[in-house]
Amino acid sequence: MNSNTADRVAPAALPVAARLQRLRADPARMTAVRDSWRALWSSRLLVWAAAVATVLTLGFGPERKAFDPPGVTRGFGWLGNLLAAPAARWDSAWYLVIARYGYRPDLGIYPRTAFFPLYPLGLRVIAWLGTPPILAGVLLSVAAFAFALYGIHRLATLELARGGALSLGGDAVADAARLAVLLMAFAPMAFFFSAVYSESLYLALSVGLFWSARNGRWMWVGVLGALAGATRSAGLVLVLPALMIYMYGPREDRLPDRPGRLNWRLQPRYRLRRDVLWLWLLPAGLVAYGAYLGLAGGNPLAPFHAQEAWGRHFAGPYLGVWDGVRAAFDGARQLLSFQRRHIYFPGTVGDPFISAGHNLLLLAFLVAAIPAVVGVVRRLPLAYGAYVIVALAMPLTYPVSAQPLMSLPRFLVVLFPLGIWLGAWLAERPRLQRPALALSTVLMVFFLAQFATWHWVA
The answer to whether position 360 is within a domain reads: yes
The answer to whether position 183 is within a domain reads: no
| CA 87 to chain centroid | 15
Q: Which residues constitute the domain of residue 369?
A: 311-411
Task: Please indicate whether residue 185 or residue 342 has the higher confidence score (pLDDT).
Answer: 185
| 200-252 tens-digit pLDDT | 999 999 999 999 999 999 999 999 999 999 999 999 999 999 999 999 989 99
Report which residue type is found at 2: N
The answer to whether position 47 is within a domain reads: no
State whether residue 150 is helix, strand or coil: helix
CB atoms within 10 A of CB 263: 9
Q: What is the DSSP letter of 236?
A: G
Q: Which residues have CB under 8 Å from 430's CB, separation 6+?
A: none
CB atoms within 10 A of CB 450: 16
Instruction: Give me the number of domains the chain comprises.
Output: 1
The answer to whether position 181 is within a domain reads: no
Q: What is the pLDDT of residue 105?
A: 63
Phi, psi values for residue 312, rounded to 5°: -75, 140
What is the chain's mean pLDDT, rounded? 87
Section 278-296 average pLDDT = 91
The answer to whether position 231 is within a domain reads: no
pLDDT surpasses 60 at 60 = yes
Q: What is the pLDDT of residue 355?
A: 87
The answer to whether position 359 is within a domain reads: yes
The answer to whether position 323 is within a domain reads: yes
Return d(Cα 177, Cα 159) in angstroms, integer: 10
Task: Please indicate whether residue 187 or residue 102 has the higher confidence score (pLDDT).
Answer: 187
pLDDT surpasses 60 at 109 = no
Section 101-105 average pLDDT = 77
The answer to whether position 7 is within a domain reads: no
* Greatest mean pLDDT range, 101-115, 389-403, 420-434: 420-434
CB atoms within 10 A of CB 282: 26
| 67-91 tens-digit pLDDT | 666 678 777 788 888 888 899 998 9
pLDDT surpasses 70 at 269 = yes
Return d(Cα 270, Cα 219) in angstroms, integer: 17
Return d(Cα 81, Cα 85) in angstroms, integer: 7
| Nearest by Cα to 424 from 198, 194, 176 | 176
State whether residue 403 is helix, strand or coil: coil
Q: What is the pLDDT of residue 241?
A: 97
| Nearest by Cα to 381 from 199, 271, 246 | 246
| Nearest by Cα to 226 from 214, 216, 212 | 212
State whether residue 312 is helix, strand or coil: strand
Per the CB < 8 A criterion, the answer to whether 241 and 210 are in contact is yes
Phi, psi values for residue 283, rounded to 5°: -85, 0
Question: Which class for 5: exposed (0-12), middle (13-18), buried (19 or more C-beta within 10 A)?
Answer: exposed
pLDDT above 70 coverage of the chain, percent: 88
